[in-house]
Chain A
Amino acid sequence: MTVARRSDSISKVSAPATIQDTSPILGQSVTRKSLEAYLRATPSVDEVAADERAAALATRSIKRESKMYALELTIRMMDLTTLEGMDTPGKITQLASKAIRPDPTDSTIPSVAALCVYPNMVPIAAEALEGTDIHLAAVASYFPSGQAPLAVRVADTQWAQQAGADEIDMVIDRGAFLSGDFVKVYDDIIAVKEACGTAHLKVILETGELATYDNVRKASMLAMAAGADFIKTSTGKVSPASTRPVTLVMLEAIRDFEAMTGFRIGMKSAGGIRTAKDAIRYLVLVSETMGSEWMTPRMFRFGASSLLNDVLMQIRWLRSGVYQNPDYFTKD
């Protein structure tokens, strides 16, 4: 349980960064008709009942060794993120060192899954992470709005991948989705996926802008059909960002997609997850909805920044029985 690096992280050497052979299930080009026919099979979501289910799972009581397991898993599943206009090379280097060794005083604490940065910062991050197992994720395709010509979004993606990112977090065109232009959303994802090369593609739905769970479920099915390796809730730039019910709805879509196609798509919840307690509630949700096979960074990720220190503090508390002053945990 206390091994620093777990072997169930995605191995960069033994396999290409795309963890599974996902491919657009409807082919490279879709017609409006075929896409709509596919999406019509998406079941509706009852908002009240979905919220209720997520709330019921939040009453699980996770203690002692299961809590320790969950906390360490949270770190191993974390995409440690900085997406600020004021990001500098210095900041990125510091955060990379935190990603490698989250607690400098404790070598048993595992590294995080990935460092997530803007494309501009990719070369610096790549250098800082060299020789480690930690993945490098870049938000690309004109993050966070996606409101740019496709050529620009594709170039953005290509540049990030060539600069060293092995995971790409793209955004969908929410405007197109809300206007009913599903073909554009699908084609965008296909184009960005192609630009990703061997990098592993996470498709951000920005659920806070999709507004309804019906839309979230439909967008999930759309993104998976277009070849997403992961689907992701939010950019973190829109409120609400990730919520547990939204994550539940997306997981249910992933479950149905696997039953339908055999493809196993990963899930990333990002934005607004700040406490260890909340993270554990997400893990309960994942475990009880998807089963133990999803309890690995290959299948589930947290996109977070301040969450890491709270998790470290909780681990220290579990081990020592006392809460440490927050100043004992590095702020990078």
Chain B
Amino acid sequence: MIHGEIEIRGVSESAECIMASNDTFTVLYFAAAATYTGKSSDAVPGPMPVSKLFGYLEGKYPGFRKKVLSSCALAVNLAYVDLVEDAGTEINNGDEVGIIPPVSSG
């Protein structure tokens, strides 16, 4: 599921310097995901299949997958995406991806 993350990791930093959103999609971090990354969003070079996103983010933020992402819901353009059933769904440049960890306090 995480194959291919290495080469993606290789281009990430330089690709992010390009401000044009033509080459990237936006990842929005909510709750614990925002706490872990220390920011509310990232521009990620796309396109990319859903199945590779968590691997990419793990490369950017070590430990992210195990501590946060493993239990998160994922939404692409405000629609829930299942990590298993929709693994092949392509995230296109300009898309907005939400990383939604379960919040359980109250």
The answer to whether A and B assemble together is no
